[in-house]
Amino acid sequence: MGSFPPSNSGDQNAQRRSQRVMVKVSVMVLAGEADNKPVSEETRTVTVNAHGAMILLGLKVSIGQLLTLRNSTTGEEIACRVVYVSPHESEKRQVGVDFIEPCPRFWRISFPPSDWTTRSPEAKGNPTKQKVRYHLFSRPLSGLSPANP
């Protein structure tokens, strides 16, 4: 249980609660150990969404454990629960956390609309967008010559 990250890759029609955005945000993770001694670690996110994040963490945590994330830029804190711990052994593991209450403003970024997909015109790698980009740069610019760039 909890050994695989939440994914809907098997169901192409499944909708996420909110779009994931790959962004590095510095955060302080605050946790309580078994003896109630507080521990903390400065780290960063891998991806974020309105409901939580994937973070890199050296602290030992377990599925269901409550943590507090502090946004290092704003100082804002939010309660969250560990929902995924990467099985890969390394210095830092990927840890998925869900906010206790959704809070899209915590990250101070604008998320894509709920109907956004990788096929949206704004999506990186969208063939339509690449075709437009190609046509924009495939024509010579007037007034420029190879001798006078």
Residue 30: which CATH number? 2.40.10.220
Q: Does any domain span residue 12?
A: no
More confident residue, 131 or 53: 53
Mean predicted lDDT score pLDDT of the chain: 76
Q: Taking a C-beta distance cutoff of 8 angstroms, is the pair 55, 94 a contact?
A: yes
Q: Residues 127, 125, 136, CA angle at the centre, nearest 5°?
A: 60
Q: Render pLDDT for 14-37 as a digit per residue (tens, 0 to 9).
A: 455 666 778 899 999 999 876 778
Examine residue 128 and state whether it is found in any structural domain, yes or no: no
Position 68 in a domain: yes
Tens digit of each residue's pLDDT (9 = 90 or more) over 109-128 = 776 666 666 676 766 665 55
Residue 48 resides in a domain: yes
- Evaluate whether residue 139 is within a structural domain: no
* Domain residue limits at 65: 21-107
Distance of alpha carbon 87 from alpha carbon 31, whole angstroms: 20
